[in-house]
Amino acid sequence: MKKIGLIFNFLILLSTLNGFTIYRDSLDNGLIILSSEAHKIPMVEVRLIVKAGSFYDPSGKEGLANLTVRMLLRGTETRSGDEFLEEIEYRGANINANVYEDYAEIAARSLSKDLETILGLLAECVQKPSFKVEEFSRLQRQVHSQIVSQLDDPFYAGEVAFRKLLFSDYPLNHEPSGFDSTVNQIDITDVKNFFTSYYAPNNAFIVIVGDFNSDSMKMMVEKYFSPWVKREVPEVSLRIPELNGKKGKLIKRDISQSYIFFGFYGPDNRAVDWIPARMMNYVLGGSGLTSRLATEIREKRGLAYSVFSYFNRFCHGGYFIAGVQTKNESANEAVELIIKEISRIRKDITEEELNRAKRFYTGNFPLNFDTYREMANFVTRVEIEGLGLDYAERYERLINKVKIEDIKAAAEKYMKLDNFCLVIVGNIDESSISIEGLDWVK
């Protein structure tokens, strides 16, 4: 057998839960391999993840990370984009290039017997992309048209405006696909430079979940990925701007409802108070129909179908949104109720509510791994968020040790009612929203 040059530093997790084990290995070039074997069906989920997400988009070229990863499926030095894709889809496998704030990924799903082909193709597209200018122009036109048509959806338009209002020039200010105004400012040289900067094995990892044999999988990864050359990756360090005052933005649309987005900065991936913050949100607006926001806005008053709140967190920042869609006449009442509930949760949360949240999070945990796909999602999160390979084993303890004071401290830290952003997409006037000191941005 060929010698395998892998550093074997595996740890076991979830051994007591759904009985799945994650192994973490790495190649000499720094590429990390996270794998978990399962043998329910003859299928594998494979992801190649590079820490080259939309956070790294330069200002004025938002959308670059997206175009870069999507170009990887548009041809290599040895085959055209069509040949590359046919090779995968003819087997009934599928492949997608996606971008998120923290990372870009190429995700594939195939029958087990095609694992080697898939790994070979992933290695090829990430080491030898052709970056043909005509393919790039076509992709750029398509992506630009897609963003413009997405903005016709009031929900999407509201989210885009909210992030811009909240983060100003900080690079979490845009959806991962970029702004409609900046996608066309990017050229093929930008793509090549971005690729050269961030696409390195020491800035990437592979996730493989499903039906494979560990020894042969490792040989394949070694064979295809060890030629990928290690290099230095630039560090980005930027400070999140201070959030000062109450900022509002209205987008007028001829529609029957107002889409309301209200929020602040939130914890990032490393925040130690993430779990209390999340449990606070569960009580506020994260627990479906039983949350406080749903009870007040939907159940008691029938003001909305959709009412929610959530934290979105990343490596370099995060945000909180409470949102609702209600008929235009009810917009002010809904905003007032959101503010009232946020103000209430800063002061008052009961032991019973805390215990309910604990029962939900501990009882719900095993439901997050009942498919290969969810297992792959979980493994990706553990690595990106730096949760630690023993996260699943620590999870119940992390939840159960949260006290009322921790939740109150998180609420006070993140939910400051003197500094917030409010975006409304709908057919109303600014004057119909009665918030003192709200500064409407044009």
Partner 1 sequence: MMINFIFLAFSFQPIQVYEYQLDNGLKVLIYEDHFAPVVSVQVCYRVGSYNEPSGLTGISHLLEHMMFRGTKKFGPKEYDRMIDEAGGEENAFTSTHQTVYWANLYKDRYELALMLEADRMQNLVLAEKEFIPEKQVVMEERRLGENDPYGTFFEITDHITYLQHPYRQPVIGYMADLQNMKREDVYNWYRHYYNPANAVIIISGDVKKEEALRLVKKHFGRIKSVLVKENVYSEPPQNGERRFKLIRDVSQPALVITYRAVDINHPDAYVFEVIRMILSSGKTSRFEKVLIRERGLAADIDAYVSLLKYDGTFSIFAIPQIGIAIESLEKEIYGEIERLKKGDLTDEELQKAKNQTLTNFTFRQDSPSGMGFAIGYWEILTGSWRNINLYPEGILRVTKEDIERVANKYFKEENRTVGYLLPGR
Residues near 58 by Cβ (< 8 Å), separated by ≥ 6?
64, 190
Is residue 126 within 8 A of residue 70, CB to CB? The reply is no
Q: Does 132 bind partner 1 (CB under 8 A)?
A: no
Least distance between partner 1 and beta carbon 113 (Å):
7
CA distances to 29, 303, 428 from 115, in Å: 22, 51, 54
Q: Which stretch binds partner 1 (CB under 8 A): 54-62, 91-99, 402-410, 415-423?
A: 91-99
Instruction: Annotate each residue in 69-88 with x if it binds partner 1 (CB under 8 A) or - if it does not, as one string.
Output: ----x-------xxx-xxx-
- Residue closer to partner 1, measured from CB, 262 or 361: 361
* 221-260 binders of partner 1 (CB under 8 A): 253-257, 259
CA distance 65 to 99: 7
Least distance between partner 1 and beta carbon 165 (Å):
21
Least distance between partner 1 and beta carbon 31 (Å):
26
Is residue 245 within 8 A of residue 439, CB to CB? The reply is yes
CA distance 25 to 22: 10
Q: Does 109 bind partner 1 (CB under 8 A)?
A: yes
Q: Does 110 bind partner 1 (CB under 8 A)?
A: yes
CA distances to 48, 151, 165, 166, 313 from 265, in Å: 30, 23, 11, 8, 9
Which of 5, 241, 245, 302 touches partner 1 by CB under 8 A?
302
* 176-205 binders of partner 1 (CB under 8 A): none
Q: Does 293 bind partner 1 (CB under 8 A)?
A: no
Q: Which stretch binds partner 1 (CB under 8 A): 50-58, 215-223, 371-379, 385-393?
A: 371-379
* 324-363 binders of partner 1 (CB under 8 A): 325-327, 356, 359-363
Residues near 81 by Cβ (< 8 Å), separated by ≥ 6?
73, 74, 75, 135
Q: Does 278 bind partner 1 (CB under 8 A)?
A: no
Q: Does 306 bind partner 1 (CB under 8 A)?
A: yes
Is residue 11 within 8 A of residue 24, CB to CB? The reply is yes
What number of chain residues touch partner 1 (CB under 8 A)? 74
Q: Look-up: residue for tokens 């630009």?
A: 144
Least distance between partner 1 and beta carbon 226 (Å):
26
Q: Does 153 bind partner 1 (CB under 8 A)?
A: yes
- Residue closer to partner 1, measured from CB, 198 or 395: 395
Which of 227, 236, 305, 441 touches partner 1 by CB under 8 A?
305
Residues near 130 by Cβ (< 8 Å), separated by ≥ 6?
74, 75, 76, 77
Least distance between partner 1 and beta carbon 257 (Å):
5
Amino acid at 270: R
Q: Does 402 bind partner 1 (CB under 8 A)?
A: no
Q: Which stretch binds partner 1 (CB under 8 A): 229-237, 272-280, 281-289, 429-437?
A: 281-289
CA distance 254 to 154: 10
- Residue closer to partner 1, measured from CB, 233 or 294: 294
CA distance 197 to 242: 29
Q: Does 288 bind partner 1 (CB under 8 A)?
A: yes
Which of 329, 348, 370, 390 touches partner 1 by CB under 8 A?
370
CA distances to 73, 75, 149, 259, 333 from 84, in Å: 7, 7, 29, 42, 54
